[in-house]
Structure 1
């Protein structure tokens, strides 16, 4: 790849390395300069610009990141669309991240231009959580390096999904055991198992005595649980204590006592009739994360839980200062809001949204594109002829919101749509129902670019440097949009927050084509 300062007149087809302001228009880094761009640079008196040009053996940043992601990821993961040389990898199931640290090191040593970062091996994730990010540093990398990195990264990352556990729970009592203590034990175990998607199938309470506990363990196995948990009235302090002695009396064995995790040191692992039995530490009654959580997660993920696995938990096993429940990054939740309330005044009598486009009403085509994307839910704002619009959307997975103030302009429909966005969502992509070429791929491309933390809180679809629609807004701009009135939509919110705007080049005229008139509709049909 060639990189450096070049005469602007020679830069058609080159990649702009640094953002520039050209005659009031911002040319952002990564823009592939067109002939019109070159003319604009020259007319603005910009004689030289820093650009990059790919060679025949180079792979552009997005393609390289995607190729590496496909080679490095396995079961339980999903690759997001690339943007700016970055591909994020998400979990497709609740489970534990599995990372081959050796493979990751070999991959990251191939070239300083190729990087992959993951969560820690064994990290607990939920569906949609971010588990890894792959970033190509420059605009392109040599094809040979990409191939070597892919070979090195094979089998690097996966997510072991949780299976629903069926658990037996045995509690023991002493003369001074209180109902409150038993309740805490039941709650501590029950909440953990439910969070993992399992059930406590059977529960029994017996005196804290070896023979009676041994009988209770044997009875607990009749229901064929996946494992049995024992909440002792008194903590286990030795391999010869009541709970380990009861396991052995029933014909089982003690596999491991004690773990290098705090809180959770006094946990015991045993086996009875091929069923795991866990003697619980006292901290299992509390909701804070402890060694029991780490063990239960491995059982639920169907991973080995032996002495070697328990000993390995010592790295990261000091939990006292991080006992609050973890909070993982996740894929952004974005709703699609489709404006379909207008009166089609320029259509001179007809309702453009009901016109057939490739055999489908125009509004249904827009809704289908949004449904096929990663945006959810899909909200359609109606106004003019709401019953007719609703009829052509019948059977589609959309939420209809009627705007009784549709005559007041586009902004009133935007307000109605944003009011319907679920409270937990991070933003909304505003779409117009009369744009037939906006498809799911463009919506997903815009969602991949969205990252408020990195300064991309507003994402605008463009073509050849001209901004169009859709536009994706982070929730932080909803209040500002709700102050807009009239028929301007939210365009001025984009213009007044340029520092947060990310332009996504579509590669086609889709962001600029709407069917407002009979002539526009006829022209589109005649293509």
Structure 2
């Protein structure tokens, strides 16, 4: 059987992080951002699945086949109001849609600067590690990969706290990559114009895991 993990692009639910700078959760609603991130994922030549909302479904389908798009509806709360699914629900939906994959490489849709080679490097690390993540200049970043052996736990994540506990429970492997995009999530593609372009990697202290 060919070893070929699936890249799961998370474009549904409230923004959150396995590793990286903490910020207030937000709902991705930028079609251009999703398309830019998807192009990077497709360029990796790994299988790609997009977990997204009805509003962003057309954008996802413009770059991948309809069978490779999982749409999550809003969740109805006890008071009758609607809320977006959480990170864990999005991961569970993506993993559940590809149960026979060799593993899953999870990429937030607001990180369009992650290079295709980085996705491949993290995917390959899943041959020998249960959890792997991209690491640049000593800092943990994205994407984060999960080996196939974690399937039963990933599809039953009840909440985001459970996702954090899962990542903390298993030894993880940092995959060193020359890719500062592993650290950069954007509010919009306009943020690209404001990014500094230093000649070398910044001297940054490691950031502790949030998951």
Q: Say if 1:408 and 1:486, in contact at 8 Å, map to a contact too.
A: no
Tell me how far apart the structure 1 counterparts of residues 149 and 173 of structure 2 sit (CA, whole Å).
16
1:485 aligned counterpart, secondary structure: coil
2:124 aligned counterpart, secondary structure: helix
Q: Which residue does the alignment assign to 1:449?
A: 125
Of 379, 398, 414 in structure 1, the residue corresponding to residue 49 of structure 2 is 379
1:370 aligned counterpart, secondary structure: helix
Q: Which runs of 5+ in 2 are unaligned?
A: 16-23, 76-82, 196-211
Which is bigger in relative contact order (C-alpha 8 A, separation at least 6)? 2
Using a 3 Å threshold, how does the CA distance of structure 1 residues 461 and 488 change in structure 2: closer, same or farther?
farther
User: Residue 488 of structure 1: CA displacement?
Assistant: 5.0
For 1:450-477, what per-residue CA distance to the aligned partner results, in whole angstroms no more than 9, with x for missing partners? 323xxx2322111233222111111111
Give me the TM-score of the superposition, normalised by structure 1. 0.31
Q: Say if 2:103 and 2:126, in contact at 8 Å, map to a contact too.
A: no
Of 103, 106, 109 in structure 2, the residue corresponding to residue 433 of structure 1 is 109
Number of aligned pairs? Answer: 178
User: Residue 482 of structure 1: CA displacement?
Assistant: 3.0
Q: Which residue does the alignment assign to 1:266?
A: none
RMSD: 2.8
Q: Which residue does the alignment assign to 2:30?
A: 353
Q: Which residue does the alignment assign to 2:192?
A: 524
Tell me how far apart the structure 2 counterparts of residues 442 and 374 of structure 1 sit (CA, whole Å).
12
User: Residue 331 of structure 1: CA displacement?
Assistant: 3.8
Q: Which runs of 5+ in 1 are unaligned?
A: 1-329, 355-360
Tell me how far apart the structure 1 counterparts of residues 52 and 162 of structure 2 sit (CA, whole Å).
15
Give me the TM-score of the superposition, normalised by structure 2. 0.72
Of 377, 380, 396 in structure 1, the residue corresponding to residue 63 of structure 2 is 396
Using a 3 Å threshold, how does the CA distance of structure 1 residues 465 and 490 change in structure 2: closer, same or farther?
farther
User: Residue 435 of structure 1: CA displacement?
Assistant: 0.4
Using a 3 Å threshold, how does the CA distance of structure 1 residues 351 and 335 change in structure 2: closer, same or farther?
closer
Tell me how far apart the structure 1 counterparts of residues 166 and 181 of structure 2 sit (CA, whole Å).
22
1:393 aligned counterpart, secondary structure: helix
Using a 3 Å threshold, how does the CA distance of structure 1 residues 411 and 506 change in structure 2: closer, same or farther?
same
Q: Which residue does the alignment assign to 1:420?
A: 97
2:132 aligned counterpart, secondary structure: strand
2:122 aligned counterpart, secondary structure: helix
Of 454, 463, 474 in structure 1, the residue corresponding to residue 147 of structure 2 is 474
Q: Say if 2:72 and 2:85, in contact at 8 Å, map to a contact too.
A: no
User: Which has the larger Rg?
Assistant: 1
1:490 aligned counterpart, secondary structure: helix
Query: Normalized per residue, which structure has more strand?
Result: 1
For residues 267-286 of structure 1, the aligned pairs below 5 Å read none
For 1:468-516, what per-residue CA distance to the aligned partner results, in whole angstroms no more than 9, with x for missing partners? 2111111111222234333458343222111xx221112232222112x
Using a 3 Å threshold, how does the CA distance of structure 1 residues 465 and 471 change in structure 2: closer, same or farther?
same
Q: Say if 1:459 and 1:473, in contact at 8 Å, map to a contact too.
A: yes
User: Residue 352 of structure 1: CA displacement?
Assistant: 4.3
For residues 64-213 of structure 1, the aligned pairs below 5 Å read none
The yes-or-no answer on 1:496 pairing with 2:172 is no
